[in-house]
Amino acid sequence: MKRILTSIAAGGLLAMVAAAQPAPRYSIIELGAIAGPFSQATGVSDNRYVTGISSARDGNQHAALWVMGLKIDLGTPGLNSGAFGINPSGQIPIQAETTAKDPNNANFCAYGTGRQCRPFLLQGVMTALPLLGGYNGTVGNSNNRGEVAGIAENGTRDPACPSEPSLSGTGPQVLDFEPVVWGPKAGDIRELRRLPGDTVGMALWINDNGQAVGATGTCANTTLPPVAFGPHAVYWEKDGSPVDMGNLGGKVVNIGLAINNKGQAVGVSSLNDKSSPNFQTNAFLWTKGTGMRDLGTLPGDVASVGAAINERGDVVGFSFDKEGSPRATFWRDGFMSDLNDLIPGNSPLYLLLATSINSSGEIAGFGAVKSTCMGDPELCEVHGFLASPNSGTSSRAPDTVGGRLPFVLPENVRAALRQRMQHGK
């Protein structure tokens, strides 16, 4: 008994020491855009390659890569495209809105054009990934084994699908869609099993062990990216068998968004149901052994999202105030910080969404360009960023505004944020 009590005391001491550790401070690189006013970073690799989306010279959005100060237009096999991470083999998953019309007008890419949305893998050349009999699909990340998580329509017409567009612009959906893994061989596609009773699903992240996370539900209660969720957050074993990750109290908004190689997953879950006058969704941290843990929000905020996690267990994401304005967040050892409080006050950006974190603790995301947003709000620009931790840490008071957004985001920017709340789109 004495040994057990000693272990508990030691564990408590270690927890106190961990809690006392200040969050690192960061330097910021504004990544800029290929052309025009918009860019977004969606992923950062361990060798500091940053992928994302940028407004391009043709007026559309193109998949982009930032490397050593270079802005590289990865092109598009259609109209609009986006890149979502890069693995050590240089494979980049691409979502692309093609020029072909979708007979069902599903707007799977959320651009509102009614064109088909297709998954691709870029490695020297851009190769289309197979579907399951439908017209649309989209990608999550690619792991070090060359597997890509994602979503693919099948050919099943489902009368339960919503006949109206979703909040983020997808739909009206007509066909069911499945959680899938492509690869590692070219042309491979593998369906992941859904939870019993569910008819649709999506896989948004796969780790190097072949374990994936996402959501399942029915076509009536499951919403596609970019504002992705279903009633059931799901973890898939490498053999494709599903595990219900549970929830924080509500059965409406639940989804796993990322998982590291230790099996720690993050995402978002509702605390109650929509009938509640105080409906809220919070970021969570999950493991198979401990279940789902509520990560909370920044002080005064009403919602949060856990978007990515690295091998250390650091979590990045974003927290929303009651007006819907987001702040990029960093979570470590039980404490959530406003990422704006951890960067220099003269940063050119106010950091809105943090979407990726690598093993070195470098964070990618996007923020509002202060020089444009402080003036005419309608000229407010949004650019991607790469935040790198400085050597050591500092517990001194932050030298930035922090707290609330120091300007009003115009409606066009708010609309863009609604389209990119989750899954980096």
Kindly report the backbone phi and psi dihedral angles of residue 279, in degrees, each rounded to the nearest multiple of 5, phi listed first.
-60, 130
What average pLDDT score do residues 44-52 get? Answer: 97
Q: Inform me whether the pLDDT recorded for 339 exceeds 70.
A: yes
Q: How many CB atoms lie under 10 A from the CB of residue 60? A: 15
pLDDT the model gives residue 409: 66
> Identity (one letter) of the amino acid at 6?
T
Q: How many CB atoms lie under 10 A from the CB of residue 279? A: 16
- Whether residue 5 is contained in a domain is answered as no
Least confident of 15-19, 57-61, 259-263, 297-301: 15-19
Query: How does pLDDT run across 92-131, given as a tens digit for each residue?
Result: 999 999 999 999 999 999 999 999 999 999 999 999 999 9
Q: Is 210 left (phi over 0), alpha (psi -120 to 50) or beta?
A: left
| Reported confidence tier of residue 21, pLDDT bands at 50, 70, 90 | low
* Euclidean distance between CA atoms 303 and 216, whole angstroms: 22
Q: Inform me whether the pLDDT recorded for 363 exceeds 60.
A: yes
| Reported confidence tier of residue 13, pLDDT bands at 50, 70, 90 | very low
Query: How does pLDDT run across 210-256, given as a tens digit for each residue?
Result: 999 999 999 999 999 999 999 999 999 999 999 999 999 999 999 99
- Whether residue 105 is contained in a domain is answered as yes
How many residues can be counted in the chain?
425
Mean pLDDT of the chain: 89
Question: Closest by alpha carbon to 302, among 271, 262, 342?
Answer: 271
pLDDT the model gives residue 396: 37
Calculate what percentage of the chain has a pLDDT beyond 90. Answer: 80
pLDDT the model gives residue 168: 79
What average pLDDT score do residues 196-213 get? Answer: 98
Q: Inform me whether the pLDDT recorded for 1 exceeds 90.
A: no
pLDDT the model gives residue 421: 47
pLDDT the model gives residue 393: 46
Q: Inform me whether the pLDDT recorded for 353 exceeds 70.
A: yes
Q: Inform me whether the pLDDT recorded for 6 exceeds 90.
A: no
Lookup result for tokens 């407010």: 380
- Whether residue 232 is contained in a domain is answered as yes
* SS3 state of residue 259: strand
- Whether residue 55 is contained in a domain is answered as yes
Q: Inform me whether the pLDDT recorded for 423 exceeds 60.
A: no
Q: Inform me whether the pLDDT recorded for 2 exceeds 50.
A: no
* Euclidean distance between CA atoms 119 and 198, whole angstroms: 24
Kindly report the backbone phi and psi dihedral angles of residue 57, in degrees, each rounded to the nearest multiple of 5, phi listed first.
-70, -20
Residues ≥6 apart with Cβ < 8 Å to 417: 324, 326, 352, 353, 409
- Whether residue 423 is contained in a domain is answered as no
* SS3 state of residue 163: coil
Least confident of 1-15, 33-47, 237-251, 321-335: 1-15
pLDDT the model gives residue 405: 64
What average pLDDT score do residues 331-338 get? Answer: 96
Look up residue 107 and give its two tokens. 């707007």
Residues ≥6 apart with Cβ < 8 Å to 196: none
Is residue 364 within 8 A of residue 45, CB to CB? The reply is no
What is the model's pTM? 0.90
Q: Inform me whether the pLDDT recorded for 156 exceeds 80.
A: yes
pLDDT the model gives residue 274: 78
* Euclidean distance between CA atoms 18 and 361, whole angstroms: 17
Is residue 395 within 8 A of residue 420, CB to CB? The reply is no
DSSP conformation letters of 137-161 = EEEEEE-TTS-EEEEEEEEEE-TTS
Look up residue 309 and give its two tokens. 């996690």
- Whether residue 9 is contained in a domain is answered as no
Is residue 235 within 8 A of residue 281, CB to CB? The reply is no
- Whether residue 222 is contained in a domain is answered as yes
Q: Inform me whether the pLDDT recorded for 322 exceeds 70.
A: yes
Look up residue 359 and give its two tokens. 């093993």
Residues ≥6 apart with Cβ < 8 Å to 188: 182
Domain of residue 148, residue span: 29-418
Question: Closest by alpha carbon to 170, among 119, 219, 88, 110?
Answer: 110
pLDDT the model gives residue 400: 39
- Whether residue 3 is contained in a domain is answered as no
Is residue 83 within 8 A of residue 53, CB to CB? The reply is yes
CATH number of the domain bearing residue 94: 2.130.10.10
| Reported confidence tier of residue 416, pLDDT bands at 50, 70, 90 | low
* Euclidean distance between CA atoms 185 and 190, whole angstroms: 11
Q: Inform me whether the pLDDT recorded for 7 exceeds 70.
A: no
pLDDT the model gives residue 5: 29
Number of separate domains in the chain = 1
